[in-house]
Amino acid sequence: MAQSVTTMLKDGQEYMKTWPLKRELYTLFPDCRVVAATRFAVRFMPPVAVLACATMLNTFGTDYLPQALAVGAFFLSMPMQGLLWLGKRSNQTLPPQLRHWYQEILTKMRAQGCAVQNPQHKPRYRELARLLKTAFDDLDKAFTRQWF
């Protein structure tokens, strides 16, 4: 199913807000590194783009306006690339081994009395992110340490 770019960007922003940045997850999922890099890019790349354009125009003059705009567009595209990756990732279904792990965590959290979402037949990474966020927010460290 093809998605529009704006939908993927919105999904990426939602996924970036939902995914828990816990050190236990960094070795298991590339999502942690992409979320951290995207947050950095969203914060710092717009000023870097302006600075790079201004420096090029100041140094080389207006004859280099197309090149300055290309450099600025490059720096501005970096946060969008991260958000697009996260948006695509959030809508991917979990592979079988992660799906089993997702079901196991969901079952144990229900046994602990946590209010969790209804299990999905084919869970996606966005459901895993919500479940992990709930696990890290609501459960104590001893309980979550057994999974990681």
pLDDT of residue 117: 74
Q: What is the number of H-type helices and E-type strands within the chain?
A: 7, 0
Domain residue extents for the chain: 1-91, 93-148
pLDDT of residue 141: 61
Over its C-alpha atoms, the chain yields an Rg (Å, rounded) of 20
pTM for the predicted model, two decimal places: 0.86
Tokens representing 73 are: 């567009």
Q: Which run of H or of E encompasses 127?
A: helix 125-138
Tokens representing 53 are: 């354009």
| Distance between CA atoms of residues 8 and 2, nearest Å | 10
| Distance between CA atoms of residues 51 and 89, nearest Å | 32
* Residuewise pLDDT in 10s, the chain (148 residues): 568 999 999 999 999 999 999 988 999 999 999 999 999 999 999 999 999 999 999 999 999 999 999 999 999 999 999 999 999 999 999 999 999 989 988 888 888 777 777 777 899 999 999 999 988 887 766 556 665 5
